[in-house]
Amino acid sequence: MPFSLPDLPFEKTALEPFISAETLDFHHGKHHATYVNNLNGLVAGKPEASMTLEQVIMSSDGAVFNNAAQVWNHTFYWHCVKKDGGGLPTGALAEAIDRDFGSFDAFVKEFTAAALGQFGSGWAWLVFDNGKLKVTKTANADLPMKHGQVALLTIDVWEHAYYVDYRNARGKYIETFLAKLVNWDFVAANLAKAV
Ligand code: FE
């Protein structure tokens, strides 16, 4: 099988009480795993089977794209969160946020609005685009690399990401993600690679 499900970069209970082991059992063990299995089934015996995941994403559409992009999105999302995360970014990342949004609070407002405003399933992002940080949102499996942008941070706002722990309260999930879970070191490393 050309593509495999990466392990979570933390223990399954590490994000409790904010994201439960039950959510991770389903979100990583079922949803993410299913995208990997679907992708392997779709590319079996085809040229895509010997491509990197990024090459598949950039060269495909339809079901192959949807499953490949969801494999990438989820792997990226797991690295965007950590135990004892949240708080404030520092260093060059904090400076870039101040420069491009005016303040950290203004960034939080914009990111929250994007994540809340994504109608139905999708993702909100902090991206690096033409030398600037921007907040974007994408529907379903769509992702920044398909738009020439570099992903720095994402939040999964598909209901499967939060329904077990937050029911329909997407806003509470977004607030908790920013306050308690974001792995700013990962975001800063992504920015350092992008500039
Ligand atoms: Fe998801």
Residue with tokens 């797991």: 78
Instruction: Tell me the pLDDT tens digit for each residue of 64-80.
Output: 999 999 999 999 999 99
Q: CA-to-CA distance for 72 and 35, rounded, in angstroms?
A: 10
Q: Percent of the chain scored above 70 by pLDDT?
A: 100
Q: CA-to-CA distance for 185 and 175, rounded, in angstroms?
A: 19
CB–CB of 152/127 below 8 Å?
A: yes
What pLDDT is stored for residue 83 in this prediction?
Answer: 98
What pLDDT is stored for residue 176 in this prediction?
Answer: 98
| Paired residues of 124 in beta bridges | 137, 155
**pTM beyond cutoff 0.95:** yes
Q: How many CA atoms lie within 13 A of 62 on its CB side?
A: 2
- Give 30 Cα–ligand 1 centroid separation in angstroms: 10
- Give 32 Cα–ligand 1 centroid separation in angstroms: 7
What pLDDT is stored for residue 1 in this prediction?
Answer: 79
CB–CB of 171/116 below 8 Å?
A: yes
Q: Percent of the chain scored above 90 by pLDDT?
A: 99
CB–CB of 178/108 below 8 Å?
A: yes
What pLDDT is stored for residue 185 in this prediction?
Answer: 98
Ion ligand 1 residue ranges (Cβ < 5 Å): 156, 158, 161
- Give 74 Cα–ligand 1 centroid separation in angstroms: 6
Residues of the chain with pLDDT under 70: none
- Give 63 Cα–ligand 1 centroid separation in angstroms: 16
What pLDDT is stored for residue 33 in this prediction?
Answer: 98
- Give 79 Cα–ligand 1 centroid separation in angstroms: 13
Residue with tokens 């089934």: 41
